[in-house]
Amino acid sequence: MSDALEVTTTVSIPRDELSFRVSKSGGPGGQHVNTSSTRVELLWNVGATRAIPEELREIVQRRLASRTSADGFVRVVSSEHRSQLRNREAAEERLARLVRGALVVQRTRHKTAPTRASKERRLEEKKRRGEIKRRRGRDDFE
């Protein structure tokens, strides 16, 4: 296991910034689940991290605000595996995916005007629909 969790090619979270808590997991597993602590909870402080540059840190904090606790920790829980090690790896991968998604720079949207052909198609369709509705109301068959 390396000393950092690789998020992207340029961003890696030092493992000493990650704290883990383990507890007993619910769900299937028979007697094994009642005796072993396999559920893993991963905590990472976004505000105090040195893994992300200052200007990007604010963006990541804003984008992960719904997943952040009042004291600034992002919490990821994994209990889908029967092994504590596999749950730990799953939690780390989930955190990396979250941070990777928060680091994506969204392109700015440029307004575009509708083309002449699209305007004509829209108007033609409106005329067609209007004609269909106009034909519905006639009582010419008496």
DSSP string, 89-113: HHHHHHHHHHHHHHHPPPPPPPP-P
pLDDT at 59: 86
What does the domain layout of the chain look like in residue ranges?
4-103
pLDDT at 139: 66
Q: Is the pTM of this model over 0.75?
A: no
Instruction: List Cβ neighbours of 18 (8 Å cut-off, separation of 6 or more).
Output: 5, 42, 43, 44, 92, 95
pLDDT at 33: 67
pLDDT at 93: 92
pLDDT at 108: 92
Q: Which residue ranges in the chain fall short of pLDDT 50?
A: none
- Dihedrals phi, psi of 72, to nearest 5 degrees: 90, 15
pLDDT at 1: 61
Q: What is the DSSP letter of 13?
A: E
CATH number among 3.30.160.20, 3.30.43.10, 1.10.357.10, 1.20.1250.20, domain 4-103: 3.30.160.20
pLDDT at 142: 56
